[in-house]
């Protein structure tokens, strides 16, 4: 059983896979069409519960805690593999469950995991849904629609750009809201669009606080850099795993891979975490004057995260794939949780179309 209470109708299990022991939430009929749900950073499987319960009766929901999060066994994330530690963990889980093909949905960092899965093993995927995903080129350190590095060492991405106060308070399991960087304040300010408050705020905060903290976990290690803002990615932990330094040829492999599962891309109209002017991006913070010494738009502009995603998906479609972009009005970084009455019908239609 997991450490966070779950909603009625869901099953909490520990499952031993060849790579790692995973905590997994499950719902729906055991012979249903599988839907693998991949949570984001500073969260856990708890963030999927309402989505799981809303699935049509022909689907089986499977929401694991990723390596580094929740009640899954504590093992390091080798960031030099990009998101592949997570992809391999998830495929190992589905193998143990005897599920060769499945739908996959990823939120935020989970969307970055989905990009990697589509590049490495698209033959396993019936359809993909990405909700406010990180750019396919990685989070931070790039400019332009084609994901050009701002610096040769990818300065401005990785573990060094995480707010250390946020990580410190996470490590202390701090549940208050006195500080701007307190986990509860960050969740209610950025995970959704204020003044929205989720009715299961305490359980979701517990999910946020479940992430493993440390120099080789979150926020991760980093290297000093001669390039602004002075830090480059290290080799361990989630923040480094989504750095463009370790994406490699993942985008090109996704664009040339066969088959090409249909992709649904959903984003919130007012997302401040993944946007073309993200408040979690060094280029944006430099331009705003919040990080000193900004070298200007020519060298390190705000990363056009949404523009990069659309650029890649349009190339995906031009290469024989299919994608649909949906923007959910008046929502932030978690539109599936803020407006499930809008998200669920779109998501269910995508699953049914790809299952038929």
Q: What is the pLDDT of residue 1?
A: 82
Does residue 144 come out as left (phi exceeding 0), alpha (psi in the -120 to 50 range) or beta? left
Closest CA to 95 of 38, 23, 2, 15: 15
Q: What is the pLDDT of residue 157?
A: 98
- Note whether residue 5 is domain-resident: no
- Note whether residue 181 is domain-resident: no
Q: What is the pLDDT of residue 76?
A: 97
| pTM given for the model | 0.99
- Note whether residue 84 is domain-resident: yes
CATH classification at residue 132: 3.40.50.1820
Q: What is the pLDDT of residue 247?
A: 94
- Note whether residue 330 is domain-resident: yes
Domain containing 55: what range? 11-151+247-355
- Note whether residue 156 is domain-resident: no
Report, in angstroms and rounded to the nearest whole number, the Rg of the chain calculated over CA atoms.
19
Residue-averaged pLDDT of the chain: 98
Structurally, the chain folds into a number of domains equal to 1
d(CA 249, CA 109): 18
Give the pLDDT band of residue 46 (cuts 50, 70, 90). Answer: very high
Pairing of strands 59-64, 21-27: antiparallel
Q: What is the pLDDT of residue 356?
A: 84
Q: Are the beta carbons of 101 and 125 closer than 8 angstroms?
A: yes
Q: What is the pLDDT of residue 148?
A: 98
- Note whether residue 233 is domain-resident: no
- Could you read off the pLDDT of 210-238 as tens digits, one per residue? 999 999 999 999 999 999 999 999 999 99
- Note whether residue 217 is domain-resident: no
């Amino acid at each position: 059983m997991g450490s966070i209470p779950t909603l009625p109708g869901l099953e909490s299990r520990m499952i031993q896979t060849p790579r790692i022991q995973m905590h997994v939430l499950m719902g729906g009929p055991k012979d249903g069409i599988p839907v693998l749900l991949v949570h984001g950073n500073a969260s856990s499987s708890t963030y999927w519960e309402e989505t799981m319960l809303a699935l049509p009766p022909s689907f089986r929901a499977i929401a694991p805690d990723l390596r580094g999060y929740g009640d899954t066994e504590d093992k390091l994330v080798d960031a030099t593999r990009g998101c592949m530690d997570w992809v391999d963990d998830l495929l190992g889980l589905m193998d143990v469950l005897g599920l060769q093909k499945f739908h996959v949905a990823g939120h935020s960092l989970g969307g970055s995991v989905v990009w990697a899965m589509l590049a490495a093993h698209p033959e396993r995927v019936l359809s993909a849904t990405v909700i406010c995903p990180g750019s396919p080129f990685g989070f931070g350190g790039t400019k332009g629609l084609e994901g050009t590095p701002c610096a040769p060492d990818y300065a401005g991405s990785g573990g060094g750009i995480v707010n250390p106060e946020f990580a410190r308070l996470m490590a202390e399991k701090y549940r208050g809201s006195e500080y701007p960087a307190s986990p509860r304040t960050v969740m209610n300010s950025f995970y959704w669009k204020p003044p929205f408050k989720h009715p299961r705020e305490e359980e979701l905060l517990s999910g946020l606080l479940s992430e493993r903290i440390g120099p080789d976990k979150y926020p991760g290690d980093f290297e000093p850099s001669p390039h602004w803002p002075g830090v480059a990615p290290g080799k361990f932990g989630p923040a480094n795993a989504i750095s463009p330094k370790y994406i490699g040829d993942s985008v090109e492999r996704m664009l040339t891979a066969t088959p090409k599962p249909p992709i649904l891309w959903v984003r919130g109209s007012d997302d401040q975490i993944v946007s073309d002017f993200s408040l979690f991006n060094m280029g944006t913070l430099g331009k705003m004057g919040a990080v000193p010494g900004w070298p200007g738009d020519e060298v390190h502009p705000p990363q056009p995260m949404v523009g990069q995603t659309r650029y890649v998906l349009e190339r995906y479609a031009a290469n024989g794939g299919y994608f649909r972009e949906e923007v959910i009005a008046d929502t932030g970084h978690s539109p599936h949780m803020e407006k499930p009455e809008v998200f669920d019908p779109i998501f269910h239609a995508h699953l049914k179309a790809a299952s038929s």
